Amino acid sequence: MLKILLINLLLFLGSNIANAQRTPEWVLPNTPFNEVETSRLMEKGTATIQGTATLKKKGKDNFGVKGSQILLFPVTPYFTEFLELKKKFNSRKKQASMGPVAFTYRLEGRFIDDKGTFQFTNLKPGKYYIISWIAFARQKTVAVQTGTSTSYNVYGYALGSSPIYEDQHYDVFIENEVSGFVDVKQAGEVMNIVISN
């Protein structure tokens, strides 16, 4: 019984160490996050940003699907530094991130159809960053054994066999980021935009 407990404990510790090794180092902006100023930027206004989000891959347009998430962030010095860090740190070892409080200062929208249509309303004049993730299909091919071919001699005895393979095709769906800046210049403005890669 003691042996089983020790083995389970070692397995548990080993899996936790493996998980800890997979966790990237999060790199945060050095610029202080100004919560008061950011909350002012997020106050209600009368402007609207609407448009479509599309991901172009191999000459084909892929759109955000109905109900999928699209986010809007006010552009602040903190957020600008985060975007710069994102260009440098985007690997399994190190990734750029925002602090949990800074990340809450955003608007969450949803695509209203399968053509990537979105709308953000009640915005103040200012600079915004819109981001979403759109999936596209990449075809993969794998050789699958579908049978066996056996060869015989003139007396009917089997000399040997070899597998028969056929290529089978399947789609793998991969998400890519689409994003862009939008500058709302005046109250009541309705901006029509396209966010793409």
pLDDT tens across 118-149, in order? 999 999 999 999 999 998 776 777 788 888 88
Identity of residue 112? I
Residue 14: predicted pLDDT: 53
Residue 9: predicted pLDDT: 41
Q: What is the DSSP letter of 23?
A: S
Give dist(CA 15, CA 41) in Å, integer. Answer: 44
Would you say 62 and 54 are in contact if contact means Cβ atoms under 8 Å apart? yes
Residue 148: predicted pLDDT: 84
Alpha carbons within 13 angstroms on the beta-carbon side of residue 141 total 4
**Residue 176 backbone phi and psi in degrees, to 5:** -125, 150
Residue 168: predicted pLDDT: 80
The whole-model pTM stands at: 0.72
Mean pLDDT of 101-110: 96
Residue 5: predicted pLDDT: 40
Would you say 111 and 70 are in contact if contact means Cβ atoms under 8 Å apart? yes
Exposure string for 2-16, b = 16+ CB within 10 A, e = fewer? eeeeeeeeeeeeeee
Tokens 């005895």 map to which residue?
A: 157
Mean pLDDT of 152-176: 78
Would you say 55 and 119 are in contact if contact means Cβ atoms under 8 Å apart? no
Band the pLDDT of 70: cuts 50, 70, 90. very high
- Of 78, 88, 69, the C-alpha closest to 34 is 78
Residue 8: predicted pLDDT: 45
Residue 172: predicted pLDDT: 66
Instruction: Answer yes or no: is pLDDT of 13 > 60.
Output: no
